[in-house]
Chains A and B, each alone.
Chain A
Amino acid sequence: MANFLMKRFLQAIFVLLAVTLIVAFAIRLTGDPALMLTQGAGSVTEADLMMIREALGINKPFFIQYYEFLKGLFVFDFGRSFMGGTPVADLISKSLPATLMLAASVMFVSIVISIPLGIKAAVSKGKWADQTIRILSLIGLSFPNFWLALMLVLVFSIWLQWLPPSGMDGFASFLMPAFTMAIILTATNVRLVRSSMLETLQAQYIMVARAKGLSENTVLYKHALRNCAIPLITYFGLQFGGLLGGIVVIERVFNWPGLGTLAFDAVSGRDYPVLQAVITILSMLIVGVNLLVDIAYGLIDPRIRTE
């Protein structure tokens, strides 16, 4: 197990290097930030542009810039934003908690809803409960999330005026963004839980557990759930990555002060250091979560632990 984790850890470092390198390269293809900054200004000479480039540090060769970025990474120094010169680390430490809290509540809501529903659907396969759950999840799957977000704002903020339409301010402000994304994730998760549960319920040890006289809840939530936890956790881990990507759109709609909003502004302003930092942090999160998933395998299944 220790060996396996060491391997995964080295892989994670390699993945991070590759991601940051590609991002740093690709971002520089988007155009010259100096031109962006001088847009609308009157007469700008080539010498002025050179000066700006030097001040921003983008006149140096690419690999020097990348090396400096990597060096900064170890001390959590991502340079300064091209827009306003705020240290990028400050921007990140302000937005990261907002995004993490939102993502965590989305995953939490989705898992807490989808596991009991998926199990219920599996146990009552073919009966009305199963059909209802499947139809609901199909409906949930068919919503585009930005549309759902706007509809929720329309109903709950504008008509009913129950919830704040945007910003992050207390528990109530979490409800709409979290549910918008959770509904779509839950729709997929219910189907996943249902199908892995159906497979596990066929197993002989489930019949054995029932033959012991255990209650149906013990059979399902203790004996069966732990056995189908591996595909579920794998999927939840991957889903978390997708979620961080999808959060950009939702953060825009709800004006959520998170990494997504930060990245969105950085793209439109060709703010290299900010965008580079946001993507690095996001990929670290994704790689980290998948590392945790690998560790969880061993905790769940003793057969993997002894390998």
Chain B
Amino acid sequence: MTDISSSPILTVENLSVEFGHSRVIDNLNFSVIAGRTLAIVGESGSGKSVTSQSIMRLAESTGASYPSGRILFSGEQGEIDLLSQSQEAMRSIRGKDIAMIFQEPMTSLNPVFTIGDQISESLSLHKKLTKSAALDESMKLLKMVRLPDAEDMLNRYPHQLSGGMRQRVMIAMALACRPKVLIADEPTTALDVTIQAQILTILNDLQKELNMAVIFITHDMGVVAEIADDVVVMWKGKKVEQGPVKELFANPQHPYTKALLAAVPKLGSMAGEPFPKRFPITVMDGEGTRLVGEEKTQATACYDKSPLLSVRDLVTRFDSKKAFLDVSLIEYMR
């Protein structure tokens, strides 16, 4: 008998997913343990997002069917197979036990409802909180994801927030009911690097605090190195490799994993180079890998000729009245 902390909270067994007659996921297996992060890595079209939407049973609304497999979730009622639940039963699990954050923070929030409305919605649904209790809790959640002026934030609309702030609102929304499993579908891909780091730190801290299992979907091996405990590498709808993050990085087995790792730029590889430099890229060729392009220095700029475009003494002003009123601009500068 394994001890409770290491028994998986969510197990995907022999999962296959089809859209019409085309199989997009074939015989997928993995599991995730409370408090740990599993990264699912792969290129676009490899079936990562379909996997996450299948766990939530949201993929059916876009036409998916499940010819085989089980998705076992250990919840309050013991272990249940999510694939055999009705949509009605899934509704009480979604957002409560298993929550999800999405890739595009700019389009993930409904533009016509306030932040407060959108966070408190799942609280009143799953926890049966009153409107005002739900708003109080929403404010706490906004503080938890370190958004400034949480109280004021409740009455704001999504368009008044920057991308990083919106993604934090999304995290607050997903964590509203303290889910046991959080699925993060490329949550940092659309954000710039500094914001990306903030979001990853917040996720990491909250995972520890709530002892959540996190399934982190990404194509960025740099992010994987930072946050994951275990990694599943997917390629063309199949799992090609799986293992603890250190082992996988130290000793990648499958050619596709090698190609993914080769795509991460090495720190210091450009030290002392006066010109931009091209490196060959590793691509998949059949079942193996191949290098494309050659290493060459891009010394095409002529520094002794007059520049094609030059900017001198440029000052750009915005109408001061407008800038004072435009709260989003001020927020963005924080």
List residues of A whose CB falls within 8 A of some B CB.
203-205, 207-215, 223, 226-227, 300-303, 306
Give the CA-CA distance A97 to B121 in the complex, in Å: 43
Q: A211-B99, A212-B121, A213-B122 are in contact. Are A204 and B94 (CB under 8 A)?
A: no
B160 contact set on A, CB distance < 8 A = 306
Closest to A205 in B: B110
B109 x A208 contact (CB < 8 A): yes
A302 x B111 contact (CB < 8 A): yes
Please name 21 pairs of A and B residues whose Cβ atoms are closer than 8 Å in the assembled complex, sorted by A: A205-B108, A207-B53, A207-B58, A208-B100, A208-B173, A210-B58, A211-B56, A211-B94, A211-B100, A211-B102, A212-B121, A212-B173, A213-B122, A214-B121, A214-B125, A215-B91, A226-B112, A301-B111, A302-B157, A303-B159, A306-B160
Q: A302-B112, A302-B157 are in contact. Are A205 and B91 (CB under 8 A)?
A: no
Name the contact of A213 in the complex, choosing from B112, B125, B170 (C-beta under 8 A): B125
A208 contact set on B, CB distance < 8 A = 100, 102, 108-110, 170, 173
B263 at interface by CB-CB < 8 Å: no
A212 x B95 contact (CB < 8 A): yes
A300 contact set on B, CB distance < 8 A = 112
Interface of A is mostly: helix
List residues of B whose CB falls within 8 A of some A CB.
53, 56, 58, 61, 90-96, 99-100, 102, 104, 107-114, 121-122, 125-126, 157, 159-160, 170, 173
Shortest beta-carbon distance, A174 to chain B, in Å? Answer: 34
Closest to A301 in B: B112
Among A203, A209, A211, A300, the one with the most B-chain Cβ atoms within 10 Å of its Cβ is: A211
B112 contact set on A, CB distance < 8 A = 226-227, 300-302
A205 contact set on B, CB distance < 8 A = 107-111
- Given A211-B99, A212-B122, output 20 extra A-B contacts at Cβ < 8 Å: A203-B107, A205-B109, A205-B111, A208-B108, A208-B109, A208-B170, A209-B110, A211-B56, A211-B95, A212-B125, A214-B122, A214-B125, A223-B110, A226-B112, A226-B113, A227-B111, A300-B112, A302-B111, A302-B112, A303-B111
Closest to B119 in A: A212
Name the contact of B157 in the complex, choosing from A207, A213, A303 (C-beta under 8 A): A303
A203 contact set on B, CB distance < 8 A = 107
A204 contact set on B, CB distance < 8 A = 102, 104, 107-108
Shortest beta-carbon distance, A247 to chain B, in Å? Answer: 33
A210 contact set on B, CB distance < 8 A = 58, 61, 94
B173 contact set on A, CB distance < 8 A = 208, 212
A227 contact set on B, CB distance < 8 A = 110-112
B102 x A213 contact (CB < 8 A): no
Shortest beta-carbon distance, A165 to chain B, in Å? Answer: 46
B61 contact set on A, CB distance < 8 A = 210
B109 contact set on A, CB distance < 8 A = 205, 208
Shortest beta-carbon distance, A60 to chain B, in Å? Answer: 52
The 9 lowest CB-CB distance pairs between A and B, nearest first, are A213-B95, A213-B94, A212-B95, A204-B107, A302-B157, A205-B110, A212-B122, A213-B91, A211-B100
B92 contact set on A, CB distance < 8 A = 213
Shortest beta-carbon distance, B121 to chain A, in Å? Answer: 6
Closest to A210 in B: B58
Closest to A125 in B: B63
Give the CA-CA distance A306 to B170 in the complex, in Å: 23
Closest to B176 in A: A212
Give the CA-CA distance A203 to B106 in the complex, in Å: 11
Closest to A219 in B: B61
Give the CA-CA distance A205 to B122 in the complex, in Å: 14
Give the CA-CA distance A210 to B87 in the complex, in Å: 11
Shortest beta-carbon distance, B260 to chain A, in Å? Answer: 26
Give the CA-CA distance A213 to B110 in the complex, in Å: 15
B108 contact set on A, CB distance < 8 A = 204-205, 208
Give the CA-CA distance A306 to B159 in the complex, in Å: 10
Among A213, A227, A306, the one with the most B-chain Cβ atoms within 10 Å of its Cβ is: A213
Closest to A300 in B: B112
Shortest beta-carbon distance, B182 to chain A, in Å? Answer: 11
Among B56, B92, B99, B108, the one with the most A-chain Cβ atoms within 10 Å of its Cβ is: B108
A215 contact set on B, CB distance < 8 A = 91
A209 contact set on B, CB distance < 8 A = 110
Shortest beta-carbon distance, A142 to chain B, in Å? Answer: 32
A207 contact set on B, CB distance < 8 A = 53, 58, 102
Give the CA-CA distance A272 to B115 in the complex, in Å: 57
Give the CA-CA distance A213 to B92 in the complex, in Å: 6
Give the CA-CA distance A207 to B49 in the complex, in Å: 12
B100 contact set on A, CB distance < 8 A = 208, 211
A212 x B94 contact (CB < 8 A): yes
A301 contact set on B, CB distance < 8 A = 111-112
Give the CA-CA distance A115 to B273 in the complex, in Å: 64
Among B92, B109, B112, the one with the most A-chain Cβ atoms within 10 Å of its Cβ is: B112
Shortest beta-carbon distance, B117 to chain A, in Å? Answer: 10
B157 contact set on A, CB distance < 8 A = 302-303
Closest to A215 in B: B91
